[in-house]
Amino acid sequence: MGSLGCDPFFALLRAPGAARGENRGIFTALILMSLAMALSIPRIYLFVDPLLGGVNAANLILRYSLFTVFLILGLKLAAAFNAQGAARFIGGPAGRCVLAASVLLVTVLFLLSDLPRSSPGLSGYRDQVTVLAYSDAGRLYTAYVAACLVPALSAFALNSRQPGDIRFSAGLIALGMSAAVVHTLLSLFVWGLERGWWDTLLNYAAVIVVAFGLALMWNSHRMAKKHPKPGLLARAYGSFDKE
């Protein structure tokens, strides 16, 4: 529930700025993240899906919006942290291929599955092989982007020469991305693992932590704009002169 609350909240905080044209990318990502979170909640899902025909199209929308969120976040974070490797892997041919493959795979597997009635998280159809493959394929792209970002983000978070507030935010986002990777590895490679607490916890913790990290960045940016630092020379001389 925490993740459901914090995403729209952080998105709303950015709404005035987005209206002025500031950083609409991250704003869109947060809105889509809120949408995805909302559709993960059975009550909302069972309300929305029947409106779309009751054939679980809402689940497909959820997958697509997550892909978009990770595409935006991946490109933005890679550019922000000056991670050329990550930027190449996400925005370059490799990244585009993984994205296209994921979209194709998800769409095809969705169409192949027999999903006549709304079922949150498709939990009622877990006996179909195509449904299982569908949810795994849905994680492919997110895990790929997250894995590309983790090294650069963690390196920044561990670099003591960087400012503390940005390091902390970078650390939070790195933590969230790592959780997404671990979640995917667990569900892809540990066959027969019961879907238990880790399934929910890792996912939602990841969302909360990433959203929180982004909110802190937004706050740092706002603060930096509000209180511009005095000239470098004056600052340097002031500190040289201090006892």
Which residues of this chain interact with another protein, rule CB under 8 A?
Answer: 23, 26, 76-77, 79-82, 161-163, 166, 214, 217-222, 224, 229, 232-233, 236-237, 239-243
HEC string of 138-153?
HHHHHHHHHHHHHHHH
Closer of 21 and 196 to another protein (Cβ): 21
Nearer to another protein, 43 or 225 (CB): 225
Give the nearer residue to another protein in terms of CB position, either 197 or 240: 240
Q: Minimal distance in Å, beta carbon 76 to another protein?
A: 5
89-118 CB burial, b ≥16 within 10 A, e <16: bbeeeebeebbeebeebbeebbeebebeeb
Report, in Å, the least distance between residue 175 CB and another protein: 16
- Per the CB < 8 A criterion, the answer to whether 120 and 48 are in contact is no
What single-letter amino acid sits at 66?
Answer: L
Q: Which helix (H) or strand (E) holds 75?
A: helix 57-80
Q: Which is nearer to another protein, 57 or 221 (CB)?
A: 221
Nearest residue (CB) to another protein, 206 versus 215: 215
Closest CB to another protein among residues 23, 128: 23
CA-closest candidate to residue 57, choices 115, 101, 12? 115
Q: How far is CA 177 from the centre of its chain?
A: 8
Q: Token pair of 139, please?
A: 């994680």
C-alpha 46/C-alpha 48 separation (Å) is 6
Least distance in Å: CB of 163 to another protein?
6
